[in-house]
Amino acid sequence: MTLDAEGKNVTARAGLNGQAPRCDHVDLLPAVEPGSPECKECLALGRTWTRLLVCLTCGWVACNDDSHGGHARAHYQETDHPVVAALDPGSTWRWCYVHRRTV
């Protein structure tokens, strides 16, 4: 049996062939509609952004870490909402802040 840092059994959730364990946060996500395609914090500060992310827990839209503000990460730190997705049309990219990897 393999334990994680919190002493929980991670053997049961390990991926196949040495893959990273499955992110259980993805299974808990509600269906949400993204907010307006803009970072409200950046707009209030008169800044631009490079990419927008949408919180898959509440639909909040904010700029990514490559933007000057990094407001999507700040939203995670304030709310503990773990998974975001790129707001780009057709994108399937998602990031889990808890596991620090794409999911």
The full DSSP string for 53-84 is: EEETTT--EEE-TTSSS-HHHHHHHHH---EE
| Radius of gyration for the alpha carbons in the chain, expressed in angstroms and rounded | 15
Encoded tokens for 50: 């490079």
Q: What's the pLDDT score for residue 69?
A: 92
pLDDT, one tens digit per residue, over 63-99 is 999 998 999 999 999 999 999 999 998 999 999 999 9
Q: What's the pLDDT score for residue 5?
A: 46
Mean pLDDT, range 57-65, rounded to an integer: 96
pLDDT, one tens digit per residue, over 27-39 is 888 899 999 999 9
Cβ proximity of 78 and 89 under 8 Å: no
How many whole angstroms separate alpha carbon 100 and alpha carbon 98?
A: 6
How many whole angstroms separate alpha carbon 35 and alpha carbon 4?
A: 35
Domains of the chain plus CATH, in order, are 28-102 (3.30.40.10)
Contacts of 65 (CB under 8 A, 6+ apart): 72, 73
